[in-house]
Amino acid sequence: MIPGGPRERLLGIFDLLAEWFARDDYYGCAFMNAVAEHRNRDEALLQATLRHKSHVIEQIRALAAAGAADPGRVAGQIDLLMDGAIVKSMIKKNAGPAREAKEMAAMLMARELTGP
């Protein structure tokens, strides 16, 4: 669990992503890779991916609910930043995209979250 308030915990997601991206065995997101490879022809795979994504977004939404007027919107935007960082880091083969996404998330939170 990431310590701190909602803002720190949401931004901490990107620190965890940076750690993941820096691993020697990082090859991107298994769900994204599988769906891309099968181009949505495998309905069971697509449904499993959507369930996983729904769970991730719900966790983010729960954190955002502590300070955002529209936690669902914030969760969707953070999720988009995460997905972009996952793909970009796979291409660039470094953790830089996590830091870039964290900077963008900080700007988003400055606009969307109240409190610390």
Q: What is the pLDDT along the chain (116 residues), one digit of tens a residue?
A: 566 788 899 999 999 999 999 999 999 999 888 888 887 688 888 889 999 999 999 999 999 998 889 999 999 999 999 999 999 999 999 999 999 999 999 999 999 887 65
Q: Cα angle vertex 89, ends 116, 86, to 5°? A: 60
Which pLDDT belongs to residue 2?
A: 66
Are the C-beta atoms of 14 and 98 separated by less than 8 Å?
yes
Which pLDDT belongs to residue 97?
A: 97
Which sequence spans correspond to the domains of the chain? 6-112
Are the C-beta atoms of 60 and 10 separated by less than 8 Å?
yes
